[in-house]
Amino acid sequence: MFFTLKFHSFSSVRLLRRLITPLVILVVWHTLVQRYQLGDGFVPSPAEVLQSLREWIVGSADGGGRYSATWARTLWDSASRVLAGFAIAVVSAVPVGLFIGRSRLVSDLLDPVLQILRPIPTSTWIPFSLVFFGIGSTAAISLIAMGAFFPIVLNTTAGARHVSELHLRSARMLGASNSRILLRVVLPAALPSIMVGMRLALGLSWVLVVVSEMVAVKSGLGFELWNAYYYARMDVVVGAMLTVGALGFISDQGIVLLMRRFLFWNKESI
């Protein structure tokens, strides 16, 4: 009982600490807008953003308007593209990273090309994605997959290269084949690095979905954000920004939970 109460007390204190900074930001934001009229009234107050979000989510009193009860559909459009692009990146980057990390031949063949492509901003590929896929979800998914690929492949490569030689020798002494060593020794040992790469890639995926939807798609949070700017609906712009931030945080915490579930043996990674 004592330990249970102590645990709950610790959780409450930690939750309070996590809320302090957001609350301070809200107070400062509200004060600056009310007292100094930032941007000549162009910057919305927290109350205005909250009201716009409420109407966007549940609908307005008159029941009409572009930003009335359309939030869920907009969120799903963006989230589905992020999930698809991220999944493609994981499926393609993890094997490539494992082979680069464990094979000198594959590393010599692929790593120089990846290091040349990696510094190129993903947004510069937008014209090619429009040429090959046209305006639509496929173009956005391809950009997300391309951008998320590099953090995962780099972290996977690093994890595969730092596998304990003792474990590798033990597996060879037991007669394990190269493919079995890769799946049963190298992959588990590289998982902490892979999961870190996935966290970085997922955060980047939310950035890229907004960028791609601004120019390559006619729906989603990025499209609605850019459209709201044209109509001077800065309250909706901020609402869309907060939605992307919240979704990025929730999805990141999902990966953290997976790390705690499957990497309990590696306390340093969690």
Residue ranges of the domains in the chain?
2-43, 71-269
What kind and span of H or E run contains 142? helix 137-161
User: Tell me: the pLDDT tens digits for 235-250?
Assistant: 999 999 999 999 999 9
Report the mean per-residue pLDDT for the chain. 87
Look at 5 and 88; give whichever has higher pLDDT. 88
User: Tell me: the pLDDT tens digits for 149-207?
Assistant: 999 999 999 999 888 888 888 888 887 787 888 888 888 889 999 999 999 999 999 99
pLDDT at 95: 95
Measure CA 200 to chain center.
7
User: Tell me: the pLDDT tens digits for 19-78?
Assistant: 888 888 888 888 888 877 665 667 888 888 999 999 999 887 666 678 888 899 999 999
Close Cβ partners of 72 (under 8 Å, ≥ 6 residues apart): 57
* Alpha carbon separation from 173 to 37, 166, 176, 181 (Å, rounded): 73, 11, 7, 11
pLDDT at 39: 58
pLDDT at 41: 63
pLDDT at 186: 86
Q: Could you tell me if 141 and 83 are in contact, meaning their C-beta atoms sit under 8 angstroms apart?
A: no
pLDDT for 262 beyond 60 = yes
pLDDT at 267: 61
Q: Could you tell me if 160 and 100 are in contact, meaning their C-beta atoms sit under 8 angstroms apart?
A: yes
* Triad 196, 201, 207: Cα angle to 5°: 140
pLDDT at 5: 47
Options 3.40.50.1220, 3.40.920.10, 1.10.8.60, 1.10.3720.10; CATH of 71-269? 1.10.3720.10
> 74 is written with which tokens?
């907009």
Q: Could you tell me if 196 and 207 are in contact, meaning their C-beta atoms sit under 8 angstroms apart?
A: no
